Amino acid sequence: MWSLSEIAHTIHEWLNTTFNSTLATLIEMVVAGIAVISLFALLGLVLVIMERKVSAWIQIRLGPNRVGPKGMLQSMADTLKLLVKEGLTPNGADQFLFNLAPFIAMIVAMLLMAPIAFAKDFQLWDLNIGVLYVSAVSSIMVISILMAGWSSNNKYSLMGAMRSGAQIVSYELSAGLSLLSIVVLTGSLQVSEIIQSQSNGWWIFKGHIPAIISFVIFMIAVTAETNRAPFDLAEAESELTAGFHTEYSGMKFALFFLAEYVNVFIVCAIGATVFLGGWMPFHIGSWEGFNHIMDFIPSSIWFFGKTFFLIFMIMWFRWTFPRLRIDQLLNLEWKYLLPISMVNILLMTAIAILGWHF
Amino acid sequence: MGSSSLIVLMIAAIAFSGIAILLSKIVLKPSTNKQKGEPYECGIPTTGKTWVQLNVGYYLFALIFLVFDVELVFLYPWAVVAKGMGWVAFVEIVIFFFILFMGFLYAHKKGALKWI
């Protein structure tokens, strides 16, 4: 049966036999870059149309249904429209920082792709500190938001950026702590080893109640970290017009938008990897027959299925909960989520040491 | 692919954004008028400086965040070895959290966690 890793391996072999090693490496790099860019653009298109369809479905309306079959080409049309819009720079804005901010947002979103295992043995870089890498790189995101808000010469932008700064740095803590409670169980930060340790069941089922608490806290924290409703204070439409990207238009706005959606995909992918087993099929302990049947479904389908389920959950949050106020938001993090996740990690350590997990 | 993937990804991101912005510059026909560069503020001209003083709460939370972020960095190596070390690791982390929690309580008592 063909799989993504086999295709990659075949391409690698063919390049190395046809060209010399330097040229082969170079071509491989170009191919990888083009593949990642295509994935990036495709994810943006798919997630935008998914968001609009899900919101329409939850609010009992039709959503986009004119462009293409069932409105599936709507986001393509939107991209074309954004392409022919002029990218303005307001008077008195800091030109350099204003133009730099979307680039940084894109670089961060792109760099986060490196440690994600899309399928079995299909990963750009399986580094031994994968989880730490993800939390380290994703915290650079806040710099691009602050940069965009600060340089825009607009009070709405500045306020949105400050709010988002306070929010992202706060929720980073509980997101990191909830990931750590699973790292205590696996004893490794490497993504492939975390997935391998779930071959007889996913951590959310094996880790008793603390794992479920971690998962819930992680979902809340990443919703806040990606600036999505009910934590979308950075771009609260009814208060701040569009928050930190009020002054952005045309393609620069599109880049921010794309980076935001890809970030949602990435945090969901990390959640799926750590808590729901990544590409690992659904296995139950030692039920050989059942596990064997589950292995027939390709690993990439498992990965994308889990990730898109989590993305659907985050979209579901958006249309269910009303927006919080900034003081409520910070109270929730500092007075509830942070102490709970600290106690939770102690409980998890006790469970791991006693060997109570399955 | 190893660590060279980081360079590939970074170049890919810059190329993607650069080409997108350049393409839109080529496609569109720019026009100018006096109002176009004005910052957006409900249609009326903006008053005073944009870079105003903001609530002190943002800075207080940023300072507390620094403490806890450093704590999180210390937790990573601990988490990797905790299971193998057994109860020694557990006792150590309880002491660590206790000291940290005292600091947290102090900040709470001082009113740093209250939004003014």
Task: Please measure the distance between the N-terminal and C-terminal CA atoms of chain A and give it in whole angstroms.
Answer: 32
| Closest chain B CA to residue A328 | B115
What does the alpha-carbon distance between residue A169 and residue A145 come to, in Å, rounded to a whole number? Answer: 12
Q: At what angle do helices A95-111 and A130-138 cross, to 10 degrees?
A: 160
The burial class, CB within 10 Å (0-12 / 13-18 / 19+), for B82 is buried
Q: If you ran DSSP here, which 8-state letter would residue A335 be given?
A: I
Rounded Cα gap, residues A357 and A349, in angstroms: 11
pLDDT in tens, chain A (358 residues): 567 777 777 877 887 788 787 887 888 888 888 888 888 888 888 888 888 888 888 888 888 888 878 878 888 888 888 888 887 777 777 888 888 888 898 899 888 888 888 877 788 888 888 888 888 888 888 888 888 888 888 888 888 888 888 888 888 888 888 888 888 888 888 888 888 888 877 888 787 788 888 999 999 998 888 888 788 877 777 777 777 888 888 888 888 888 888 889 998 999 888 888 878 887 777 777 777 777 777 878 888 888 999 999 988 888 888 888 888 888 888 888 888 988 898 888 888 888 777 6
**Nearest beta carbon to residue A166 from set B13, B27, B62:** B62
Q: Does B94 touch chain A (CB under 8 A)?
A: yes
Report how many Cβ contacts below 8 Å link chain A to chain B.
205
The pLDDT score that the predictor gives to residue A113 is: 85
Provide the residue count of chain B.
116
Chain B residues 29-88 with CB within 8 Å of chain A? 30-31, 36-41, 46, 50-52, 54, 57-58, 61-62, 64-65, 68-69, 72, 75-76, 79-84, 86-87
Q: Which of B36, B41, B93 is closest, CB to CB, to A155? A: B41
Residues A223 and A231 sit within 8 Å (Cβ to Cβ): yes
Query: Can you tell me the distance from the alpha carbon of A150 to that of A161, in angstroms, rounded to the nearest whole number?
Result: 7
Residues of A in contact with B21 (CB under 8 A): 87, 251-252, 255
What's the pLDDT score for residue A1? 52
- The single residue listed with the structure tokens 């074309």 is A80
Nearest CA in chain A to B8: A33
Query: Which residue ranges of chain B lie beneath pLDDT 70?
Result: 1, 43, 116
- Cα–Cα separations (whole angstroms), residue A275 to A40, A73, A180, A194, A327: 24, 33, 11, 9, 30
pLDDT of B20 reads 84
Distance from C-alpha of A326 to C-alpha of A324, rounded to nearest angstrom: 6
CB contact under 8 A, B115 and A327: yes
This prediction's pTM:
0.89
Residues A145 and A240 sit within 8 Å (Cβ to Cβ)? no
Determine which of B9, B42, B49, B63 to mutate to test the interface with A (most A C-beta atoms within 10 Å): B9
- A85/B51 touch (CB, cutoff 8 Å), yes or no: no
- Optimal mutation site among A154, A181, A349, A351, interface B, most CBs of chain B within 10 A: A349
Residues near A71 by beta carbon (within 8 Å), at least 6 away in sequence: A49, A53, A63, A64, A65
Do A272 and A303 form a contact (C-beta atoms < 8 A)?
yes
Which of A9, A156, A332 has the most B C-beta neighbours within 10 Å, making it the best mutation to test the interface with B? Answer: A156
Taking the domains of chain B in order of start, what are their residue ranges?
Answer: 4-110
Interface contact flag, B61 A335, Cβ < 8 Å: no
Q: How many CB atoms lie within 10 A of CB A301?
A: 12
**Sign of the torsion formed by the C-alpha atoms of A23, A28, A31 and A33:** negative
Report d(CA B50, CA A172) in Å as an integer: 29
- Which CATH superfamily groups domain B4-110? NADH:ubiquinone/plastoquinone oxidoreductase, chain 3 (1.20.58.1610)
Q: Do A335 and B113 touch (CB under 8 A)?
A: yes
Calculate Rg over the CA atoms of chain A: 21
Taking residue B94's Cβ as centre, other Cβ atoms within 10 Å add up to: 11
Per CB-CB distance under 8 Å, the chain A contacts of B23 are 83, 251
pLDDT recorded at residue A2: 62
